[in-house]
Amino acid sequence: MIQGISKFKGIFVAFYACYDTEGNVDEKKIAKLANWYLDKGVNGLYLTGSSGEGMLLSEQERMRTVDAAMDAVGGKITVIAHVGAKNTQEACRLAAQAAKAGVDAVSSVPNIYYPLPEICIEEYWDALIDAARLPFIIYNIPSTTGYNLSLNLFEKMIRKPYVAGIKTTSPDSSLILKMKAIGGDNTVIFHGEDAQLLAGLSMGATGGIGGTYGAMPELYLNIYRAFTEGDMEKAYLWQQRATKALTHGRVSWTPGVASMKAILAARGMDPGGVRAPFKTVSANEAVVREAAEMIEEWIREGY
């Protein structure tokens, strides 16, 4: 386990894939969006993960995304690259390239599609760690991988060199307490359930990584700031607002990232649509416009 977690605290935006009008990865949009988040004051970026449509991008597109983001904000903000892929060889290439690009850490879900025994998952993660030789963040998201990390495997992993901690996207916030007890105070724990960020922080999470953060970073930053200042009433208010906006603005006929990208576009920062089989949501959808207006009004109002 690595020591020192200060750069892995706070609000990390799960960075959206950026496309041009033809659906190609757009480096200029990546740079513009990365700098927008930097200006908003977020603590870090999480590249090519679930909200970044990482599994819908080619290996080269993922590498280009990492390179473009690092060229824009590398050294100014903490950057974590998700490098999980359908096979170990590809994931290792992504890990090595991310390290060469200068990211601060790499992260990965378990190998996808095939149900695997834990020894295979452990060896897969070990290979990525060896390829990158950087702090490693386990990514536990059973709703998409079909695998819920056991505390037994977590304990094995957290004792390895380079393993910094975990991003856990689970409605069971008590897992954070259990993982903290196993790993100790220097364990990085990112909460991934956006509607429960405050609950996760209360359980001991060092921060959050969220897909809806990208559409409304100001709201989540206010949750985190209020929490760290000990103002739970204010933190609760901002959590209520964030949850209302993400619920109101989400359409039911496509994955949530499409709605969040549309809300961001309605706020004036258009990253492009989403890649098939996802369906793109228009920034002109009524619920999207209403959510964007809510967010802007709350930012103007403050507490």
User: Is there a catalytic annotation at residue 139?
Assistant: yes
Of 16, 37, 46, 139, the active-site residue reads 139
Q: How many residues does the chain have?
A: 303
Q: Which residues pair with 79 in a beta bridge?
A: 45
Q: Are the C-beta atoms of residues 86 and 113 closer than 8 Å to each other?
A: yes
Q: Supply the DSSP symbol for 236.
A: H
Of 29, 37, 167, 213, the active-site residue reads 167
DSSP readout, 44-98?
EEEESSTTTTGGGS-HHHHHHHHHHHHHHHBTTBEEEEE---SSHHHHHHHHHHH
Angle between helices 217-228 and 232-248 (to 10 degrees): 160
DSSP SS3 for 215: coil
Q: Are the C-beta atoms of residues 12 and 43 closer than 8 Å to each other?
A: yes
**How many whole angstroms separate alpha carbon 145 and alpha carbon 127?**
19
Catalytic residues: 139, 167
